[in-house]
Homo-oligomer: A and B are copies of this chain.
Amino acid sequence: MKTYTIGLDIGGTSSKFGIVDSQGNILEQGRMETCRNADPLDFVQRIAQVLLPLIERYGRKDFKGIGIGAPNGNFYSGCIELAPNLQWKGIVPMQKMLAEALSLPAILTNDANAAAMGEMIFGGAKGMKDFIIITLGTGLGSGIVVDGKILYGKSGIAAEMGQLIVEKDGRLCGCGRRGCLETYASATGIVKTVSLALEKGEKSSLAGVSPLTSAQITIAAEAGDKLALRSFEETGEILGLALANAVAFSSPEAIFLFGGLAHAGEFIIGPTRKAFEENLHNIYQGTVRLLPSSLVDADAAILGASALLY
């Protein structure tokens, strides 16, 4: 008997989905804009329109359900709660909405927790019982695995490392507070770092580029642009310190970097590793590795979300 699952990764900008078989093969996949407006029902209706025909085509009775990775997704309540990077406000009962729209069982968790499950089942964290995954996208997400299990905590929304305050009275965050890690260490964060320097009149090949993206900053860094290179260094310095502090918390075997900004490769991983090693307490030296994710982003998010059903 064949068994299919749907993996859905809700991102700050776009959402990815796939039909996954029991061996972890993605048979079909697609993506769509997440928030066209403030109404989450608009998203649910658009995605149901795409998924329902696929469910019928593969055979509804062979589907276990849909696994959903979402920013600020609460595993316990099945809701997306006060996500700073989405137009949807308040508490969005996305698990219930999708279960009803598709008439299938649904499970929801943080998008980064889903990525962690993907890394644990299909990626570089196979066999590890203690690790952290950091997703560097529009924001910064994290999944913390302790003793082989996702850390959910009392609230169901533990491991929000993007929301660690790392700079007193720092940059304004979508959450309303100042100095959160993701205002510096994310695609949005590095764009802000470059923009602020350009506003101050700093010379760079990035001057006038609009809209400015982390991909363009990477291209500029490859061409040796000083501002682009320095922005990666500053970003890595802040991220590396935060990761060294994370080790003093959960003492993982490895920390995986994942997502859009991680595509900048050594430009971001190099300075992050340098700051990580400089700031790591000597009792942890040699116990923890800083690694790029071994999975293709889109696949990992879909596979991780789908793995929630196993």
Name A176's contact: one of B82, B158, B282 (CB within 8 Å): B282
CA A205 to CA B29, docked complex, whole Å: 71
CB contacts under 8 Å to B, within A244-263, are: 244-246, 248-253
User: Is A283's CB within 8 Å of the partner chain B?
Assistant: yes
Selected interface stretch from A49-57, A62-70, A97-105, A144-152? A144-152
Known contacts A163-B281, A176-B282, A241-B168, A250 near B287 by CB under 8 Å = no
Name A161's contact: one of B72, B147, B249, B287 (CB within 8 Å): B249
User: Is A288's CB within 8 Å of the partner chain B?
Assistant: yes
Which partner residue on chain B sits nearest A180 by CB separation? B281
Chain B: minimal CB distance from A283 (Å): 5
Q: A155: which B residues are within 8 A, CB to CB?
A: 251, 283-284, 287-288
User: Is A190's CB within 8 Å of the partner chain B?
Assistant: no
Q: Verify B130–A249 contact, CB threshold 8 A.
A: no
CA A81 to CA B153, docked complex, whole Å: 29
Known contacts A146-B153, A160-B283, A279-B177, A165 near B245 by CB under 8 Å = yes
CA A288 to CA B158, docked complex, whole Å: 12
Q: Verify B279–A161 contact, CB threshold 8 A.
A: no
User: Is A221's CB within 8 Å of the partner chain B?
Assistant: no
Q: How many residues of A contact B (CB 8 A)?
A: 44
User: Is A175's CB within 8 Å of the partner chain B?
Assistant: yes
Q: Verify A82–B283 contact, CB threshold 8 A.
A: yes
Chain B: minimal CB distance from A183 (Å): 13
Chain B: minimal CB distance from A307 (Å): 19
Q: A241: which B residues are within 8 A, CB to CB?
A: 165, 168
Name A163's contact: one of B160, B161, B248 (CB within 8 Å): B248
Q: List residues of chain A with CB under 8 Å of any chain B CB.
A: 72, 81-82, 129-130, 144, 146-147, 149, 151-161, 163-165, 168, 175-177, 241, 244-246, 248-253, 279, 281-284, 287-288
Give 11 pairs: A residue, B residue, CB < 8 Å, sorted on A.
A81-B283, A82-B282, A151-B251, A154-B252, A154-B253, A158-B249, A159-B249, A165-B244, A175-B282, A176-B282, A250-B250
Nearest 4 Cβ contacts at the A-B interface: A153-B251, A158-B251, A154-B253, A155-B287
